[in-house]
Amino acid sequence: MKPSLAKGTRDFTAQEVSRRKYIINILQNNFELFGFQPLETPSFENLSTLTGKYGEEGDRLIFKILNSGDYTSKVHQADWENKSHQKLTSQISDKALRYDLTVPFARFVAMNHGKLTFPYKRYQIQPVWRADRPQKGRFREFYQCDADVVGSESLLQEVELVQLYLKSFSDLKVPVTIHVNNRKILSGLAEYAGITDKLIDFTVALDKLDKIGKEGVVNELLERGIVQESIDKLDFLFTQSDDALENLLQLKEKFAGNGIGLKGVEELEFVLTQSLSLGVNIENLVFDITLARGLDYYTGAIFEVKADEVQMGSIGGGGRYDNLTEVFGVKNIPGIGISFGLDRIYLVLEELGLFPEEASSNVEYLFANFGGDETLEALKLIMQLRAKGISAELYPENAKLNKQFTYAEKKGIRNLVFLGEEEIKNKRVTFKNLEAGEQKTISLEEFLS
């Protein structure tokens, strides 16, 4: 049988695993610095927990798990004959791989809200699965790195998450811009233009501005049944200045008497002014009035992070949501959350050459195998190195030295150590740095210091 990978999955080499761990360790360290606590949920959930939470398209991408045993014996013949997909699914599958980390988190909070201390801050770094069509940058199995706060309506949470984003990407040495908007502003714009009933159509088209331009957005708005008069009222959206606070002031004037729009402006103004007061550069925090991600999900602030020096989609995003747990029967638990795109961050670091040398799993020392008593002495010395946290290994066979050299070079081992009869007798160690090509002999004490 020819070995192959399931579509949309990947193997990760030692170097790739080490580099991913480098990113994850920085994110995890910052999550904990900001007071978030770790949470892990099962890889699979009850199917009923997941379905109906992501929309029709999302439901189709859920990986369902077949029930164990002879599940076909429980399926009614009529359902086979009528090909009733929904009925068939419910009879042959009642579990599914998690589609994201948010719905399982909502389920956890709903089940444990009586035991949790609010506001509850959790971070989660785990894989998720989607039965999507694999393509470049899109996989069926991938990691999400989420940080959420639930049980607080304070806008200081938004300010904190801006800080978390900027510190994390600063630690990764990736220059970024955080694009921000507010769901209430989008609702206010729809009300201002008299298209409240077309809110979704309006924002879906507006969100494509950077891809299809003004003309493309206008044409799509017309195709979606939005009249030219309303489009003309929204023309100012395409001529926003670079000054976020000036743009908000313009909105205040247009939203006179528009309660939800003014509320959105007020919230966003607070987040921007507080962030700037804390030293955030206005160039790194941009008010993007066309940002409309997750409309059915978010109710307040919206974030999207883009790398400044690489042509890539967003490498992070999130926003505020109300009643996260309402679908599970627990109301009035507002929340806000952000996510870091591990795979895209990896590609950015790789393109910019930002992975440090220590973000690799290379062994520090390979001890040449000379056989006999030398081997035992080498193993003793290796034990001492490992006790100090230094990686070392012994070549397993007493092979020709050329073969041992080749092994070290191919594996990327930095130093080849020679502990022969003469070295043991004089309590010395000879080693060659394979990167610099330099060889020297030093005392055993110096080597271990």
pLDDT at 392: 96
Burial category of 55 from C-beta neighbours within 10 Å (exposed 0-12, middle 13-18, buried 19 and up): exposed
Structure tokens at 38: 């770790």
Evaluate whether 94 touches 71 at the Cβ level (below 8 Å).
no
State the angle between helix axes of 259-277 and 183-192 in degrees (0 to 180), rounded to the nearest 10. Answer: 140
pLDDT at 207: 81
Enumerate the H helices of 224-324 as residue ranges.
Answer: 228-233, 244-254, 259-277
pLDDT at 28: 98
Superfamily (CATH H level) for 9-63+99-175+309-358: Bira Bifunctional Protein; Domain 2 (3.30.930.10)
Q: What backbone phi and psi angles, to 5 degrees, belong to 337?
A: -150, 155
Output the CA torsion sign for 260, 266, 268, 271: negative
Strand duo 365-367 + 392-394: pairing: parallel
Structure tokens at 180: 């921000």
Integer Cα distance of 274 and 157 in angstroms: 11
What residue numbers does the annotated binding site for L-histidine cover? 100-102, 130, 144, 148, 293, 297-298
Close Cβ partners of 223 (under 8 Å, ≥ 6 residues apart): none
CATH classification for the domain delimited by 365-448, as one of 3.30.43.10, 3.30.230.70, 3.40.50.800, 3.30.70.330: 3.40.50.800
pLDDT at 84: 54
Evaluate whether 142 touches 127 at the Cβ level (below 8 Å).
yes
Nearest by Cα to 307 from 211, 210, 175: 175
Instruction: Please report, for the chain, the start and end positions of each structural domain, with discontinuous segments joined by +.
Output: 9-63+99-175+309-358, 176-291, 365-448
Integer Cα distance of 251 and 254 in angstroms: 5
Residue reference for tokens 């910019």: 352
Nearest by Cα to 260 from 196, 344, 335: 196
pLDDT at 302: 94
Close Cβ partners of 321 (under 8 Å, ≥ 6 residues apart): 297, 298, 299, 300, 334, 335, 336, 337
**pTM of the model as a whole:** 0.88
Evaluate whether 181 touches 60 at the Cβ level (below 8 Å).
no
pLDDT at 150: 96
Integer Cα distance of 141 and 147 in angstroms: 20
Low-confidence ranges of the chain (pLDDT < 50): none
pLDDT at 91: 73
Integer Cα distance of 159 and 147 in angstroms: 14
pLDDT at 404: 96
DSSP string, 223-246: HTT--HHHHHHTGGGGG--S-HHH
Integer Cα distance of 389 and 112 in angstroms: 40
What residue numbers does the annotated binding site cover? 100-102, 130, 144, 148, 293, 297-298
